[in-house]
């Protein structure tokens, strides 16, 4: 999978099993749309552990690293 921009923000989150469904709903229906509406955020994906573990890998693909210091991403 080629990155469409020049930068990415990657993170790994562990999630308590009893919060997983609520997190997935919020992350898919609120958080991802909010982030993708920001300038420079091109694509977002969430990957679950293949072994059914509690972790998620989150990847935001960015036009450039500067998207992370934009006024829209970091309001005053």
pTM: 0.86
Domain boundaries, the chain: 7-69
In tens digits, what is the pLDDT along the chain, a chain of 76 residues?
677 889 999 999 898 989 999 999 999 999 999 999 999 999 999 999 888 788 899 999 999 999 999 999 987 6
Q: Are 59 and 12 in contact (CB under 8 A)?
A: no
Domain 7-69 falls in which CATH fold? Alpha-Beta Plaits (3.30.70)
Distance CA 45, CA 74 (A): 21
Burial class of residue 60 (count of CB atoms within 10 Å of its CB; 0-12, 13-18, 19+): buried
């Amino acid at each position: 999978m080629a990155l469409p921009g020049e930068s990415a923000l990657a993170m790994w989150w562990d999630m308590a099993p009893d919060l997983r469904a609520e997190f997935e709903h919020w992350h898919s229906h609120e958080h991802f749309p909010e982030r993708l509406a920001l300038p420079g955020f091109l694509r977002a994906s969430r990957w679950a552990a293949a072994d059914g573990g509690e972790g998620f890998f989150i990847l935001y693909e960015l036009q450039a690293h500067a998207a992370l210091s934009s006024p829209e991403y970091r309001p005053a």
